[in-house]
């Protein structure tokens, strides 16, 4: 498995972040949101299950693992 590092965009059809990590997602229509990869499928931060393919045909195309700001 290739190493996935922070602060870089990845193709979500090839790579996945580590389980439980919230990442910035770019959907197939260009919209962005944050999702969590739970090891099987994407979920949002309040655990609403995202299907592999939504009714609109949207799916995560890219993800970005960002560094969280510590204050």
Q: What is the DSSP letter of 56?
A: T
Residue 16 forms beta bridges with which residues? none
pLDDT of residue 66: 85
CA 51, CA 2: separation in Å to the nearest integer? 25
pTM of the model: 0.77
State mean pLDDT over 41-57.
Answer: 69
Pick the more confident residue, 2 or 13: 13
48 has pLDDT over 70: no
């Amino acid at each position: 498995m290739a190493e996935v590092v922070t602060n870089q965009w990845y193709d979500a059809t090839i790579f996945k972040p580590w389980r439980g990590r919230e990442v910035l997602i770019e959907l197939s229509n260009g919209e962005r949101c944050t999702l969590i990869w739970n090891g099987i499928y994407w979920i949002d931060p309040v655990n609403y299950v995202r299907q592999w393919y939504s009714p609109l045909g949207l799916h995560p195309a890219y993800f970005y693992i960002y560094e969280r700001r510590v204050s």
